[in-house]
Amino acid sequence: MTKLTGITFAVATAIAGSAFADTDRTGWPESFTVGTASQGGTYFAYGAGWANLVAEELGLSGGGEVTGGPMQNMALVHTGEAQFGMTTMGPAAESLAGTNPIAPGLQMTGACAMFPMYQTPFSVTALSSSGITSIADIPAGARIGFGPAGSTSDTYFPRMMEELGVEFDRRNGGWSDLGSQLQDGLLDVIAFAAGVPVPAVSQLEVQTEVNIIEFTEDEQAQIMAAFPVSQFDISADAYTTLDAPARSVSMWNFAIANCDLPESFVKAVVDVVMSDNERMVNIHRAAGSTLPENWDKNTVMKWHPGAAAWFTENAGAEIPADMIHGN
């Protein structure tokens, strides 16, 4: 198992006066780690932020750690090397099925759902000068940039394109670099899986004319049937290029917990994160979707009993017993 590396944001505070001072802390760890992703990305900022918030509120030592992202987080949380982590529904499904490339054949059932984070939309961009205005317009052999190797975008967008019958030459790289390559004519299309507005697209809009390409209703339905994604509209105000919402799909991100952690501990962590959305949005704008009513976006992982109890009691969640770990 790859050892966690990076900066740990450790916070240890006294619990006097805390709302959780009277909570039964039997079996609670003295410290915890949240597996995030690389520095500079949404996962790291969001994960380190809620880790610090939880550490402060619960009077523990804890923080975010740099990891390889969703796939590695599933492995780290399954083994207990990290108490918490963050993943997308696709990597979660693959990890549970035993097809996580980190440990092929290992069904990572030791990682449980904890709370909904936000959606990662899948979006397609081309230069207006290309004449590409739809998925069907993408020519055979088109050079498509799919983002960093091993990312959620690189893992799923090529499969989605294949599902839709697109033949392409696959390219990888950072989003800013791919944006420059598109502008220089070295790429025909960029297929993004990232929070919108994607900075690279916003930058392109300033410098040249682009087409934000939406899926047709049939394409959207086809992708939703084949992959663990949800219906999503990119809002018209996300980009100056758009004058109406663009039809897309998105993959939900969820926080995960080691299934063996004490129920009272995980319930308290969920309460800190989910009870005050304004604090979360101050950590990262993407947390605008970190809302109790989005509990139902988990259709893949079993819930940690502590998390299930919180959402049942506070969000009116009706979680089937067979979707709760230990039942």
Each residue's pLDDT tens digit, 65-103: 998 888 899 999 999 999 999 999 999 999 999 998 889
Each residue's pLDDT tens digit, 2-45: 444 444 433 333 333 346 667 889 999 999 999 998 776 788 88
Residue/partner pairs of 148-154 with CB below 8 Å, 24 or more apart: 148/172, 148/173, 148/174, 150/68, 150/69, 150/71, 151/69, 151/193, 152/69, 152/70, 152/88, 152/90, 152/91, 152/120, 152/193, 152/251, 153/122, 153/191, 153/192, 153/193, 153/194
Alpha-carbon span 145 to 200, nearest angstrom: 12
- Give the pLDDT confidence score for residue 17 in this predicted structure: 33
- Give the pLDDT confidence score for residue 19 in this predicted structure: 60
Q: What does the DSSP assignment read for 79-114?
A: HTSSSEEEEEHHHHHHHHHT--TTSTT---TTEEEE
- Give the pLDDT confidence score for residue 40 in this predicted structure: 65
Alpha-carbon span 262 to 264, nearest angstrom: 6
Q: What is the DSSP letter of 304?
A: P
Q: Do β-strands 246-258 and 111-127 pair in parallel, antiparallel, or remain unpaired? A: antiparallel
Alpha-carbon span 315 to 267, nearest angstrom: 13
Each residue's pLDDT tens digit, 228-272: 888 999 989 889 999 999 999 999 999 999 999 999 999 999 999
pTM over 0.75: yes
Closest of 119, 155, 111, 161 to residue 140, by C-alpha = 161
Each residue's pLDDT tens digit, 254-264: 999 999 999 99
Residue 34, CB-side half-sphere exposure with 13 Å CA sphere: 29
Alpha-carbon span 181 to 111, nearest angstrom: 38
Query: Would the CA dihedral through 318, 295, 33, 16 be positive or negative?
Result: negative
